[in-house]
Structure 1
């Protein structure tokens, strides 16, 4: 087998894993109203179907990325796809919302293993002169997964049960496991190293993220001033501080905290979390809006939901090329501004306005994301030494996924809290509930607008790339 054929076989294999893991993070959103009805659940419970998957992925990305260096990427990839496939089967079999949420944890563990080692597999397979092109093509695969997810979900829901959304992963997963065993056996990164895994850091990171997100999601039930809320926040603060101390003192840290001193690393990283929190706040709420007060069918909902991700697929390569000439500060600030405007205009959306009013508002979010992502990633990767780009890549993926889960948690918390305040609930929606629904929807979009406005300030504060050359970072 030639080297040229080998690298593209690896690319195709990695592309399948990235496509499936990103597809699964977007396809489920369209199905949430149907899952809620079929399993006799409510918004506050069904949001965990999305939250727990993203939380699991974000908590374990750095751990499995490090583990792929130690144990070998082939082993992590194959086991990851196997776990993802088994998790998909259990999701399809779920007969209660609790079982579905538990199965999504299993699926998220597999997805985190795939996402953690996939970029490194590409770097292992391609020569240095072709890595930029290969990683750029991987970005297109991510966009394709996010774009096709809502469309595929809408089409499946129009003809079949929501369970098929999970079952379609099974044959693909089985073939990918077999292909991974054969294709990845001779890669340079397949043997691993003898360096130890920072188990304490891994545990503390999981504890920090889980305590923080669970507290935010359960805030409406527990109350702002309550023993449970206080314990959750104290746990998050202590575990976060302990994680920072551990990473400073251990010889083989999950995350080199020295990178946090680099302005063009830390501020773009924070901006990443804010942008994706804003985007997924919108992505979580829109299927409920389109299905209930909007009255759209599942297939139309799926088509409308691809609008933001379609712009990500088309514009991202262009914004990446512009970043080479203009830098990231202007483009990323512009992208965050578009996101802020999208959420602001969604505050004034009403079911009587029709499909065009929805599409152009969502298009603004897609344009903003597309203009932001490539320049921002370029700034992050370009701000760190070459030998730390793997850590930077893992940190970026963690910030992105953490932003997604924070957005979903924030949207579900505000929306559920407002409907409860109004004496309403989403267990059995009827048209008479539309005014209360829209008030909750507008409060969520207003919160997103404020969040994105903060993101504009953070993004602009990064300074220009030329600062790195003058030592002012």
Structure 2
């Protein structure tokens, strides 16, 4: 059946994706200004980012399942409302604690939008056009990530940091109204009306929150600390409880039968691995460009945009190719290119021409673009319509977990190596004499990231054809 509103719904989904990605990159740029105005320190202000990530990751599967049960229209429109409310509360926040709390509200709204977006695209587009549509969504993600620092810089130069949140309010109100009208007649819009698995939702929230909290704080707490070990034990126990409940519950939060679908499980695993490998680059490169290279913030930002620019232009092409050629070879080749980018970054040294850095970063962007939309098309196309909300939430959860693990592993490897070589001196006391120690530690991180990428390439190829 051809659904004649599909491109209007695509535009609505694109707005939600653009808002969430733009907001994320703008907030990172604004953190130093927020820290100054609220007279706090970096260890406190980091929670503006961490709590958002915790909230989104913990609630994705719950809202994905709710969209299957209640219908995507209700969850999606509610997501715009909650995200807009959260943006307003962030803008008026007068203390760090209030701002962090407001980010929880904003993160809850973002998780509603993220959980539904891929499922909506797959629901309304025919099989032959899904890859192209999801590829264009990948381009929207890249546009948000690319324009975020530019828009943030403009707002921070001429206005208060509060306007990075206020800008979401008129867009969110308009999108809420449009969603109420456009999503009335979507396929499967009424939902299955099954009960929500509240026990599964609670154990998922506890498990993912404990895991992400432990991974993001491991370098501060120490790998043998009571708090880190406690977080890992809590995550493990919650995971066991989640599986036991899923087997006993008539309508579980996550359908364990999906784990029997080869083209759901293996692409999901490779998605997590890709983002873990990619974020070793995204996290470490600004430090390399700032410390050993001595580049300004403006030049560093311009270089860091490069992978996302390639993602912007190549994602739609990759999605269209996947519609005709299938995703297996594209995903495998994309992971190989990302691995080669990481290998090439091992050979960097201060004083190299900027062009030598740019082509290495571009290679990472091309590899990521070739992978993401074909892989998502495979995952979403492999599950029945009644479970696409779960699959959509699982895709976003795998992506977020990959990002967190990439940052956590890069931080752990770099910090342990650097402090060992400098006999306990941290990066906050960096001097030019430490360049050799920095580069050795940097190379270890890039090498580890390359191993993750090549392992992902093997899994992407081993999963077989559609």
TM-score tier after normalising by the smaller chain length: 0.7 to 0.9
SS in 2 for 1:349: coil
How far off its partner does 1:415 sit? 4.3
Checking the alignment, whether the CA contact within 8 Å between 2:117 and 2:392 is kept in structure 1 is no
How far apart are 1:210 and its partner, in Å? 1.4
Aligned residue number for residue 462 of structure 1 = 463
Q: CA deviation at 1:363?
A: 0.7
Structure 2 distance, partners of 1:159, 1:290, is 27
Going from structure 1 to structure 2, the CA distance change for 1:451 and 1:46 (only over 3 Å counts) comes to farther
Q: 1:378 Cα shift?
A: 3.2
Residue 266 of structure 2: aligned partner: 267
Unaligned runs of 5+ in 2: none
CA–CA distance in structure 1, aligned partners of residues 266 and 156 of structure 2? 40
Distance in 1 between the 2:317 and 2:213 partners?
A: 38
Q: Deviation digits for residues 142-163 of structure 1, max 9, x if unmatched?
A: 3322333344345545665655
- SS of residue matched to 2:344: helix
Kept in 1: contact 2:64–2:391 (CA 8 A): no
Match of 1:212 in 2: 211
Shift, 1:207, TM fit: 1.3
Q: Could you say if the C-alpha distance between residues 416 and 84 of structure 1 is closer, same or farther in structure 2, counting changes exceeding 3 Å?
A: farther
- Structure 2 SS opposite 1:194: coil
Counterpart of 1:468 in structure 2 is none
CA offset digits 1:215-274 (Å, max 9, x no partner): 222223333334333322221212112211222221212222122223332121110001
Q: CA separation in 2, counterparts of 1:100 and 1:444?
A: 33
State the shift of 1:113 in Å.
Answer: 0.8
Alignment match, 1:111: 110
SS at match of 1:353: coil
Q: Distance in 2 between matches of 1:129 and 1:438?
A: 47
Paired residues of 1:41 and 1:427 also in contact (CA < 8 A): no
Q: Structure 2 CA distance, aligned partners of 1:382 and 1:10?
A: 18
Structure 2 counterpart of 1:448: 449
**Residue equivalent to 2:359:** 360
Match of 2:329? 330
**How large is the Cα RMSD of the aligned pairs?**
3.5
Aligned to 1:15: 14
After superposing the two structures, state which structure 1 stretch, 147-156 or 399-408, moved more: 147-156
The normalised TM-score by structure 1 is: 0.83
2:315: which partner in 1?
316
2: CA distance, partners of 1:432 / 1:97: 37
Report the CA distance between 1:291 and its aligned residue: 4.4
Structure 1 unaligned spans of 5+: 466-473
Q: Report matched runs for 1:397-436 at 5 Å.
A: 397-417=396-416, 423-425=424-426
* Alignment partner, residue 251 of structure 1: 250
Q: What secondary structure does 1:306 align onto?
A: helix
Equivalent residue, structure 2, for 1:469: none
Secondary structure in structure 1 of the residue aligned to 2:201: helix
Shift in Å at residue 64 of structure 1?
0.8
Task: Give 1:63 deviation, angstroms.
Answer: 0.8
- 1 CA distance for matches of 2:464 and 2:7? 38
How far residue 48 of structure 1 moved from its aligned partner, in angstroms, is 4.5
Equivalent runs, 1:135-150 vs 2, <5 Å: 135-150=134-149
Q: Choose 102-111 or 48-57, whichever is displaced more.
A: 48-57
TM score, norm. by length of structure 2: 0.84
Q: Which residue in 2 is equivalent to 1:304?
A: 303
Q: Does 1:168 align with 2:164?
A: no
Moved more, 182-191 or 172-181: 182-191
Size of the aligned set, in residue pairs, is 463
- The aligned counterpart of 1:372 is 371
Q: CA deviation at 1:290?
A: 3.7
How far apart are residue 198 of structure 1 and its match? 0.9
CA shift at 1:398, angstroms?
2.0
In structure 2, the CA distance between the partners of 1:169 and 1:418, relative to structure 1 (3 Å rule), is farther
Which residue is equivalent to 1:79? 78
CA positional deviation for 1:197? 0.7
